[in-house]
Amino acid sequence: MPTPEQVAEFLADAKAKGIKPGAGWRKVDLPPTLKCGCTASAVRPPDNTPSCPIHDCTEQVERPDLTDRVAICSNCGKMALSAFGLPFFEYRGPGSREATEMCRCGSLANAHTPEALAKAEASGYPRTCKEFRPNPKGRLTDSYYCGCCGWD
């Protein structure tokens, strides 16, 4: 994970070179952005509702502003300017699923219910974080896949 300084340096370098978000990726009519932070990458039958198969999400939302945001390849760490046209792009900033449904400990909100905490305690692996604490700012960076491991 890059430091805030590395992200700032990457943004400054991209601006100095005049690089535009999504540069190098083919231009397409973008599908809608979903509540999970992803751009719809599938459709759900029978009415072809745009969806995200990774997060099982169909709720469409307005696109957030990606100005001065950087996306990191989830596999190799390569940085790119955030753009909804990047493959498997996931917005992780303020208002995103990452900001509202993920605790600062890294677990989802539902891992902090009394039932989930009791189950963890009984399993012999009690949670150190007992209270859900969202991070309203989300993450500094978004994620995408650059193709480093191929497309098959």
DSSP assignments along 33-54, one per residue: EETTSBBP-EEETTTTEEEBTT
37: pLDDT confidence band, cut at 50, 70 and 90? confident
Q: With 0-12 CB in 10 A as exposed, 13-18 as middle and 19+ as buried, what is 33?
A: buried
pLDDT in tens, 68-112: 999 999 999 999 999 888 888 889 999 888 888 888 888 888 888
Per-residue confidence (pLDDT) for residue 24, from 0 to 100: 57
Does 29 have pLDDT greater than 70?
Answer: no
Confidence at residue 26, expressed as pLDDT on a 0 to 100 scale: 54
pLDDT given for residue 105 in this prediction: 86
Residues constituting the chain:
152
- Among 11-20, 38-47, 54-63, 134-143, the minimum mean pLDDT is found in 11-20
Helix (H, G, I), strand (E, B) or coil at 86: coil
Between 141 and 21, the higher pLDDT residue: 141
